[in-house]
Chain A
């Protein structure tokens, strides 16, 4: 139980630290790209993990003072921290940054009459705008290049996601093609 408590506490404390750091940097508005902020904030959690982990082994009663227990619980705490940060990025930051449905809710709410027709929505937010924003994001992140005539794939991140989606489709029996 003490090991479990330490792993969970460590992961949550450093996840909070990650939240505070990246919110602080975003609010300072002194950054180039959002992914850089997220990544740096995530990395800064690792020294914190080591510090909390070591202090926990020293000060929490009934801890098994063995190297194996120290390493194993440390790895579990890192894994939990990774899971928490990943899901924050995917479901909270990522969704508010990129989800079209969220943006559509906002477009309807922003309309003076608090209701909107399709044409009202298309004036501010439409397929072309979505494409423009997404291309800019992919170009800035280095996933695409543009030579003035065509867009080309760069790097393997998008291909990796496509590969994972392909695996899921096979698993669930989606028709191919």
Chain B
């Protein structure tokens, strides 16, 4: 049980470190920087678990399981941070609903919020910025990385016999 609490403690430690560095503008919300930070924060935890175990095997430390729990929590945190800068359409619908004192929204109000300039353009520019597509001022073309990503996902969707969503 103490090992699980240690996993939770180091996850909270990682969250505090990331929040502090983010507020000081040393890191942003990109998954790779959060991932790197989680690895760095794992170093003292890894030392406690594997190099100088704080618990003897008789007290059920489960080091590999607790490491997986730590990284599972960090991955969840990464996903939540990514959603902050790019709210999902579901969250955008909720925001429109909550704006109204009667907590309701009409189809026309939603259509205004879901313009192409808000929904499509920024995401296409993200794809270009991350190197998944290139933009020559007029046309978008997939890079080899973008083609690989979409090929793998299409294969997966063929496996489960479902069309791509969006």
Q: Is A59 located at the chain interface by the 8 A CB criterion? A: no
Q: Min CB distance, B117 to chain A, in Å?
A: 8
Which residue of B4, B57, B127, B140 is within 8 Å of A76 (Cβ)?
B4
Beta-carbon contact of A128 and B114 below 8 Å: yes
Q: How large is the interface on B (under 10, 10 to 19, 20 to 34, 35 or more residues)?
A: 35 or more
Map CB proximity to B onto A149-177 as digits: 1 under 8 Å, 0 otherwise.
11111000011011011001101111000
Inter-chain residue pair count (beta carbon < 8 A): 219
Beta-carbon contact of A162 and B91 below 8 Å: yes
Roughly how many angstroms separate A73 CA and B135 CA in the complex, as a whole number?
A: 52
Number of residues on chain A facing chain B (CB within 8 A): 79
Beta-carbon contact of A105 and B142 below 8 Å: yes
Q: Hey, which chain B residues are within 8 Å of A133, CB to CB? A: 165-166
Main SS class of interface, B: helix
B interface residues (Cβ-Cβ under 8 A, vs A) = 1, 4, 15, 19, 22-23, 29, 57-58, 60-65, 68-69, 72-73, 75-76, 79-81, 83-84, 87-91, 93-94, 97-98, 103-107, 110-111, 114-116, 118-121, 123-124, 126-127, 132-133, 138-142, 146-147, 149-150, 153-154, 156-157, 159-162, 164-166
**Which 5 pairs across A and B sit closest by C-beta, in order of nearness?**
A103-B166, A83-B72, A150-B104, A26-B160, A127-B114
A sample of 11 inter-chain contacts (CB < 8 A) reads A1-B57, A26-B160, A95-B153, A102-B150, A102-B153, A115-B141, A118-B116, A127-B120, A153-B103, A161-B94, A174-B84
